[in-house]
Structure 1
C-alpha cells in the first residue's frame, strides 16, 4: 500500500505542449507524358510556397531520383531556405485521395537543415507503369499532388494545475452543431433573399444572417444603401476576388475558417475584407495566422499590411523579427524593403527608433 503522501489526487500537474502551424500546397502536372523525357536524377520544381513562416518547394522526379528508383516517380518536399533549421512532419499524396482534411497520420518529425537534409520524401512514390493505368492520371494527361506540412514551432512545458479530473457523467451533451447547420444553410441556399456578384461569380445569401454578423452588411442591406441593384436583390462588390468573398461568407455563417491553400496569401486578402466589413474576430484570426508567416521574404509586405489596417500585434511581430540583425540585413537587401521605405516612411521612422533603443536586460 503506498504511503499516505502518494495517495489521492496529485498536488500539481504539467504538460508538454507542441506549438505547430499547418498548411498544404497543390502541384498540378500538366502534360505528364512530356515530363517522361526528364532523365533520372533530374527534377521539376513547384513554385515556392509558405507554410509556418517558411518557404518550401515540391520536387518531382518523373524518372526517379536515382538508378535504384528509375522505374518510379520520386517526390520530395524541400525547405527553400539556407540558414534555418526547421522541424516538420509532412505527407505527399494525390490530391484526389484527400476528400476532407487529412488525418495527418505521419508521425515522424523530420529535421530540415543546411548541414543535414534540406529535403525529405519518397524515392519510390509510385511505379510509373502502375500509375499510367490508374485513375490518378487524368484523361487530359495531368495529375495533381498534394503536400501537407506541419511545422513544429516550439515545444514547451506548461503548468496545467488547473486541470480538474472529470466526474462521473450520466448524460452526454453533444457540442454545438450550429456552425455546421448554418454552413448547410449557405450551401443549399434555402430561403436566400440576396445575391452577390463578385469577380464574375454569384453567391446567394440571407440578409438577416449577414446583418446580424456585420454592421456594414446591416447598413448596406437594410439601411442607407437599399436603392438600385441592392433593392432588387443583387449586390455587386468590386475590388474583391470571388474565392476571397466565398471564404468571407463561410466565416460569416460558421464563425470558422476551413483549411486554405496558400493560407498566407488568403489571410492577407481576408484581413483586408474583414476590416472593410467590421468582422473583428475574422480580422484577429487572420492577424494571428499571419504572425506565423513572417519571414525574410514576407515581412515587408506583411508589415505594410499591418500598418494600413492597424494590426498592432502583427506589427509588433514584424518589428521583433526585424530586431534580429541577421534578419534585418537579409530583408534590407531585398526589393520589398525598398518599396516599403518609399511607401511607408512613417514605418521606417518607427523601425529606426526601435533599433536605436538599447537592449533590455533582466534585473
Structure 2
C-alpha cells in the first residue's frame, strides 16, 4: 500500500528577459590599423529596459594586445546597476551560425554598474589572435565581412509566492518492461514462431508489429508470412535474434556481461544490421553509440564500412574524424577492414582524405 505524505511549498521565482544583436562589420580590412586603443561600437540595443552595445578594438586595447582583436559587451544606460548573463559569438559566414566560445560568455549573472569598469563584460575584454580570426578555414571573415553575435539575458526582480499544501502518494516506477519481458520468457499466448539458425523462438505478433513496421507488413500485410505457422529468418545468428526480441519486449539490451570485448562489439554490429533490417531506429542509434566506444586502429575501417552501408550518419562521422586525425594511419591502412572498405565503399575514403587535409592545414 502506498504511503501518504504532506508538505508545504513556497516558490521563489526569478524572471529574465533575453535579447540579442548581430554586429555586422562590412569592410573588415578597412578597420584594421586604426590604432591600438581605438574602437568601433555597434548601435545600442535594449534588453530588459537597459541599453547595451558591442565594442570592438581591431588593433587591441594595449600594445601587449596589438596582434589581437578585443571584444566587449558594454552597458550604455546611465546611473544604473543590473545583473545579466551574456554570450559573445563569432558567426561562421559559410553556415550563418554563431560559434560560441566558453571564454566569451558568462553562465552565471554578472553585475554591470554604469559608473565604473564593471559596465564592460568581461571587464578585461576577450581577445582572439587576429591570425586565427582571419584563418580561411575558420570562415569568420569572408568577402571582407565579419559578424559578432551578442546575446544578453537580464535578471529582473524576483518574487516569493505564498505557501500551499501539497499531498503526495508515492508511486513506484514503471514496471511495464518487466511485464513484457516476462511475457516473452513464459511464452504465454504466443501466436508466431521463428526459426533462426536451427533454433526456434516463440513470440506475439501484435508486439512485433507494434515495434517494427517491417514485422507489421510481414505479419499483418499481404506477405506470405501472414499465414505461415513458422517463419524462417535467414542471415542472422540466434544470439542476435534473441537480443532483438529482448529489445522489442523491454526496450533495453539483454545482459551480455559474459561476453569479452571482441564478442560484445561483434554482436552489437550484427544487432545494428538487424535494427536497420527491421526499421528500429532507437535500437540502431543505441548500437551506433556503443560502437563509438569501441573504435580503435584495428576496427575503425570496418566500422566505417558498416556505417556507410547502413546509413548510420553519426557513426560514420565519428569514424571519419578518427581516421582524419589519427597518428597511426599506416596501421589503419594495413588492416583487412581497410582493404574491404577500399573495395566496397571507395567513395567514403574521399571524406576521410578531405577532412584529413583540412585538419593538417588548420
TM-score (norm 1): 0.51
Distance in structure 1 (CA, Å) of the matches to 2:243 and 2:351: 34
Report what 1:189 is aligned to. 187
Distance in structure 2 (CA, Å) of the matches to 1:230 and 1:223: 7
Distance in structure 2 (CA, Å) of the matches to 1:360 and 1:313: 24
Report what 2:219 is aligned to. 221
Cα deviation, residue 358, structure 1:
4.5
Q: Does 1:251 align with 2:252?
A: no
Cα deviation 1:213-255 (Å, max 9, x = unaligned): 1110000001021x3x651421111111111001100000111
C-alpha distance 234-169 of structure 1, shift in aligned 2 (>3 A): same
Cα deviation, residue 297, structure 1:
1.0
The 3-state SS of whatever aligns with 1:252 is helix
Distance in structure 2 (CA, Å) of the matches to 1:342 and 1:242: 29
Distance in structure 2 (CA, Å) of the matches to 1:180 and 1:210: 17
2:236 corresponds, among 216, 236, 240, to 240
Distance in structure 2 (CA, Å) of the matches to 1:270 and 1:325: 28
Distance in structure 1 (CA, Å) of the matches to 2:253 and 2:283: 9
Aligned length: 199
Report what 2:176 is aligned to. 178
Kindly report which structure 2 residues correspond to 1:11-30, keeping only aligned pairs within 5 A, or say none: none
Larger radius of gyration: 2
Cα deviation, residue 169, structure 1:
6.9
1:210 corresponds, among 208, 231, 246, to 208
The 3-state SS of whatever aligns with 1:203 is strand
Cα deviation 1:31-61 (Å, max 9, x = unaligned): xxxxxxxxxxxxxxxxxxxxxxxxxxxxxxx
Cα deviation 1:314-344 (Å, max 9, x = unaligned): 1111111112241323212333212221221
The 3-state SS of whatever aligns with 1:294 is coil
User: Following superposition, which runs of at least 4 residues in structure 1 exceed 6 angstroms of deviation?
Assistant: none
C-alpha distance 168-286 of structure 1, shift in aligned 2 (>3 A): farther
TM-score (norm 2): 0.51
The 3-state SS of whatever aligns with 1:319 is helix
Cα deviation, residue 348, structure 1:
1.3
Structure 1 unaligned residues grouped into runs of 5+? 1-8, 12-158, 161-166
Cα deviation, residue 347, structure 1:
1.1
The 3-state SS of whatever aligns with 2:193 is strand
Structure 2 unaligned residues grouped into runs of 5+? 1-11, 15-106, 109-164
The answer to which structure has the higher strand fraction is: 2
Distance in structure 1 (CA, Å) of the matches to 2:202 and 2:359: 56
The 3-state SS of whatever aligns with 1:180 is helix
Instruction: Work out which structure has the larger RCO, using CA pairs closer than 8 Å and 6 or more positions apart in sequence.
Output: 1
Distance in structure 2 (CA, Å) of the matches to 1:322 and 1:359: 13
The 3-state SS of whatever aligns with 1:326 is coil
Report what 2:348 is aligned to. 347
Distance in structure 2 (CA, Å) of the matches to 1:306 and 1:230: 32
